[in-house]
Amino acid sequence: MQEQLQKLEVELREVTKNKEKLRKNLLELIEYTHMLRVTKTFVKRNVEFEPTYEEFPPLENDSLLDYSCMQRLGAKLGFVSGLINQGKVEAFEKMLWRVCKGYTIVTYAELDEPLEDPETGEVIKWYVFLISFWGEQIGHKVKKICDCYHCHVYPYPNTAEERKEIQEGLNTRIQDLYTVLHKTEDYLRQVLCKAAESVYSHVIQVKKMKAIYHMLNMCSFDVTNKCLIAEVWCPEADLHDLRRALEQGSRESGATIPSFMNTIPTKETPPTLIRTNKFTEGFQNIVDAYGVGSYREVNPALFTIITFPFLFAVMFGDFGHGFVMFLFALLLVLNENHPRLNQSQEIMRMFFNGRYILLLMGLFSVYTGLIYNDCFSKSVNLFGSGWNVSAMYSSSHAPAEHRKMVLWNDTIVRHSRVLQLDPSVPGVFQGPYPLGIDPIWNLATNRLTFLNSFKMKMSVILGIIHMTFGVILGIFNHLHFRKKFNIYLVSVPELLFMLCIFGYLIFMIVYKWLVYSAETSRVAPSILIEFINMFLFPASETNGLYSGQEHVQRLLLVVTALSVPVLFLGKPLFLLWLHNGRSCFGVSRSGYTLIRKDSEEEVSLLGSQDIEEGNNRMEDGCREMTCEEFNFGEILMTQVIHSIEYCLGCISNTASYLRLWALSLAHAQLSDVLWTMLVRVGLRVDTTYGVLLLLPVIALFAVLTIFILLIMEGLSAFLHAIRLHWVEFQNKFYVGAGTKFVPFSFRLLSSKFSDDVA
């Protein structure tokens, strides 16, 4: 390909040079023509006209010149004619006057249209001049001055016939030159068009070669300077494939000596490679955006595949909206091989890359929408409500029981704006709705009171479980890195702290749900007050949730109080004890193996004559890890900071999970408002106008649903779900300090190709 390009370059250069020459020629000829034309006007007298006087014409008379008269006088009269740049005219004239002391006559006139200077290519104004002089010496001086001022001098014809001849000749030559130039330009355009067709593939080839050379630059020469050595990281599972690929490459390129590789042990930290397919890639990107995992640590992306859409759905929970989102994501997934989607711009590309995330989010939102019983802000009554209104009427009960309960009759109902059902009245509440929230709550005015209590408790329960799961994943980390002491000194106190306080909170919530009912509702204690009192030890003996509560709580507080110092000081003290008992503080980690590859096919490229046997270069790549200074203060500080962060974080992170409640409340209310303001207005109008009005109302409802509820709320819930994962979940166990394993791949370059060419 290189020769092709070189040939093309040479050809183009030649053609361009020729063109330039021709153009210059053309310009000169044009100037000559102009000059001839203009100087003709200087000579007013006809050649045949005989002059009457015989003396020298006066010097100021510069329009009449009779050279035949001069000739008769015997003086040698010379002419210099040409063109001069406009800016230099006065200086030229002055110089001539000073030098020749009046023995020259200069005539000049301005050319009307500006011409192009053949050398510089600028368009400037020219002056045509005609200098007449007599005498050899003056002639030389004049010529020198003309040279100095860069005038374009052209031979001046002596007779009119000569001039005519020259002019005709010039005209024909100019015509010829025009045609030739035209043809040259056409040819040039043809050549360039042909080259432009193949430029795209050439660019890609050149880029690929450049990338390969870039990689080769990173290799180093060995002692004999005959082969290249590359130190690479290779996943252990791919070692066999690598060997095979090397053999195949050597065979196909026809190298006399094949490349080979050895594995070398090393203590450096390898990069992190996590294999993903098109489904898991999106979730892995979410985790990687926070930080690429350290080598061999637990990958939270595995669990994020489900917990992220689930937490999103808890905040988004609407059957209808979730279904629309699911359909949109399904559209993207089914058309993922459509070429236009692959190359779309930024925003569409983001949606496309997250299509599987959207799919799962939509699915889970459908489920939570079912449970919240919320479909475009309306509830669905599938199984029949568990609340019975008729049972509140006094007519449903025996008169004997009327005194104990507040019951209704028609008058009361007609005269009160709102009435509340009382679950302690028998028959009013007949059991919990089997799937989700009872549909009667959608009709109730105190809907939010119930829902808030329910959602807050749900958020706290989900949050504590999520965080405990995070701590447990940390245990897996410690097990893998064989730091068992971490489990006993860090993870177990963390778990105890979390569970004794917040696990107990969950227990209280569930206990209150199970044990307290409408009959005991008057004495049902508030969970929040109880929880706070657990720490405050109030003087007054309030009724607890259950008997023996104080003892249980005291026990839990003791366990917590004991686990805190263990969390603070356990690990540093243990490490100190280890250090004093052993000479060098070395963390036993399995050494990582570093693969080296000798590539000897480069020998043929480098043109070396004598090809030697490639030696088995076993460089000792095992770098000694120096015995680290055991810095007790630093370890203690780190652990104290970690512990404080954990303990305070427990409380704040648990409260942070309340955003699950907050966002789902916001979504439900927005949805409700949209319905009330739009569709209900459309549905309440009577039938004559109603049909016409309903159509734009539904259209507006759909548009606003998509933009406000789906896009805005969706983005908001997405963001908060990410925050919950990154901060509250991952800071329980994730370090995320690794580097990503980025192998050389043409596929990675191909995206850059399309960016550059597009």
Residues in 491-510 at the binding interface with another protein, rule: CB under 8 A? 510
Query: Is 348 among the residues that bind another protein (CB under 8 A)?
Result: no
What count of residues does the chain have?
Answer: 758
Please give, one letter per residue, the 3-state secondary structure of 652-719. Answer: HHHHHCCHHHHHHHHHHHHHHHHHHHHHHHHHHCCHHHHHHHHHHHHHHHHHHHHHHHHHHHHHHHHH
User: What is the rounded distance in angstroms from the CA atom of residue 715 to the CA atom of residue 389?
Assistant: 41
Question: Which of 256, 446, 543, 676 is in the footprint of another protein by CB under 8 A?
Answer: 446
Q: Identify the CA nearest to 455 among candidates 664, 604, 264, 158.
A: 664
CB of 601 closer than 8 Å to CB of 249: yes
**Which two structure tokens, joined as six digits, stand for 403?**
């005194």
* Closest CB 462 distance from another protein, rounded Å: 7
What is the DSSP track for 144-209?
HHHHHTT-EEEPPPSSHHHHHHHHHHHHHHHHHHHHHHHHHHHHHHHHHHHHHHTHHHHHHHHHHH
Q: Are 215 and 744 in contact (CB under 8 A)?
A: yes
> Alpha carbon of 19 to those of 171, 175, 388, 676: distances in Å?
19, 15, 99, 78
14 to each of 7, 148, 439, how far by Cα in Å?
A: 11, 32, 87
CB of 413 to another protein, least distance (A): 5
> Nearest approach, Cβ of 274 to another protein (angstroms)?
11
Among 74, 102, 254, 431, binds another protein (CB under 8 A): 431
User: What Å distances lie between residue 248 and 254, 260, 743, CA to CA?
Assistant: 10, 11, 19
Interface with another protein by CB under 8 A: which range of 29-37, 46-54, 88-96, 453-461? 453-461
User: Per CB under 8 A, does 729 bind another protein?
Assistant: no
Q: Where in 510-549 is the site for another protein (CB under 8 A)?
A: 510, 513-518, 521, 524
Choose which of 220, 277, 345, 616 interacts with another protein (CB under 8 A).
277
Q: Where are any strands of DSSP class E within 522-659?
A: 592-599
Q: Per CB under 8 A, does 305 bind another protein?
A: yes
26 binds another protein (CB under 8 A): no
State yes or no: residue 721 binds another protein (CB under 8 A): no
Which one, 51 or 432, has the nearer CB to another protein? 432
- Of 16 and 453, CB closest to another protein: 453
> For another protein, which residue of 225, 337, 445, 688 counts as binding (CB under 8 A)?
445
Q: Decide if 697 contacts 496 (C-beta within 8 A).
A: no
CA dihedral 85, 90, 92, 98 (to 10 degrees): 180
Q: Which stretch binds another protein (CB under 8 A): 52-60, 255-263, 415-423, 645-653?
A: 415-423
CB of 200 to another protein, least distance (A): 37
* Position 333 contacts another protein (CB under 8 A): no
Strands 228-232 vs 220-221: parallel, antiparallel or unpaired: antiparallel
DSSP 319-348: HHHHHHHHHHHHHHHHTTT-HHHHT--HHH
Of the pair 124, 306, the CB lying nearest another protein is at 306
Distance linking the first and last C-alpha atoms of the chain: 23
CB-CB contact of 230 with 219 (8 Å): yes
Q: For residue 659, give Cα distances in angstroms to 311, 314, 430, 733.
A: 10, 10, 32, 22
Residue 96 within binding range of another protein, rule CB under 8 A: no
59, 218, 245, 435: residue in contact with another protein (rule CB under 8 A):
435
Question: For another protein, which residue of 433, 568, 657, 733 counts as binding (CB under 8 A)?
Answer: 433
Stretch that binds another protein, among 210-218, 452-460, 490-498, 592-600 (CB under 8 A): 452-460
Determine the interface stretch with another protein among 36-44, 192-200, 447-455, 548-556 (rule: CB under 8 A): 447-455
Q: Does 443 sit near another protein (CB under 8 A)?
A: yes
Residue 380 engages another protein in binding (rule: CB under 8 A): no
Stretch that binds another protein, among 72-80, 261-269, 411-419, 730-738 (CB under 8 A): 411-419
Residue 382 amino acid letter: L
> What's the closest the beta carbon of residue 439 comes to another protein, in angstroms?
9
Does 307 sit near another protein (CB under 8 A)? Answer: yes
Least distance (Å) between residue 230 CB and another protein:
29
- The answer to whether residue 447 forms part of the interface with another protein (CB under 8 A) is yes
Least spacing, CB of residue 459 vs another protein, in Å: 10
Q: Is 557 among the residues that bind another protein (CB under 8 A)? A: no
* Residue 264, token pair as written in the block: 């070398």
Dist. CA 76–CA 639, nearest whole Å = 110
Query: Which of 430, 608 has the CB closer to another protein?
Result: 430
Q: Nearer Cβ to another protein, position 425 or 674? A: 425
Q: Where are the alpha helices (DSSP H) in 198-294?
A: 199-217, 239-253, 281-290
Question: Which letter does DSSP use for residue 349 in this model?
Answer: H
Q: Does 742 bind another protein (CB under 8 A)?
A: no
Q: Which of 450, 535, 577, 585 binds another protein (CB under 8 A)?
A: 450
Residue 387 as a binder of another protein (CB under 8 A): the answer is yes
* Residue from 436, 572, 682, 738 binding another protein (CB under 8 A): 436
Count of residues touching another protein (by CB under 8 A): 78
Beta carbon of residue 3, minimum distance to another protein (angstroms, whole number) = 47
Side-chain half-sphere exposure of 672, counting CA atoms within 13 A: 14
Q: How many whole angstroms separate alpha carbon 350 and alpha carbon 305?
A: 18
448 binds another protein (CB under 8 A): no
Q: Judged by CB, which is closer to another protein: 419, or 561? A: 419
Residue 514 beta carbon to another protein: minimum distance, rounded to whole angstroms: 7
371 binds another protein per the rule CB under 8 A? yes
Judged by beta carbon, residue 14 or residue 236, the one nearer another protein is 236
**Out of 416, 542, 631, 669, which residue is the one contacting another protein (CB under 8 A)?**
416
- The yes or no reply on residue 410 touching another protein (CB under 8 A) is yes
**Contact residue for another protein among 42, 429, 701, 729 (CB under 8 A):** 429
Q: Which of 99, 77, 103 is nearest to 145 (CA)?
A: 99
Q: How far is the CB of 736 from another protein (least distance, A)?
A: 20
Which of 327/382 has CB closer to another protein? 382
Going across the sheet that includes 220-221, the strands are 220-221, 228-232, 592-599, 260-266
| Cβ-contact 473, 300 below 8 angstroms | yes
Question: Which member of 428, 473, 594, 595 binds another protein (CB under 8 A)?
Answer: 428
CB of 738 to another protein, least distance (A): 20
- Residue 691 near another protein by CB under 8 A: no
- In the complex, least distance from residue 328 CB atom to another protein, rounded to whole angstroms: 21
Cβ of residue 464: shortest distance to another protein, in angstroms? 12
**Residue 390 binds to another protein (criterion: CB under 8 A):** yes
Q: In terms of DSSP bridges, do strands 77-85 and 152-154 run parallel, antiparallel, or are they unpaired?
A: antiparallel
Nearer to another protein, 443 or 711 (CB): 443
Using the minimum distance from each CB to another protein, give the nearer residue, 121 or 427.
427
Element (H or E) spanning 108, and its range?
strand 104-110
Please say whether the beta carbons of 442 and 381 come within 8 A: no
Q: How many CA atoms lie within 13 A of 548 on its CB side?
A: 3
Beta strands 104-110 and 126-134 are antiparallel
441 counts as binding another protein under rule CB under 8 A:
yes
Nearer to another protein, 280 or 608 (CB): 280
240 binds another protein (CB under 8 A): no
Return the residue matching tokens 């509702």.
521
Rounded least distance, CB 297 to another protein, Å:
16
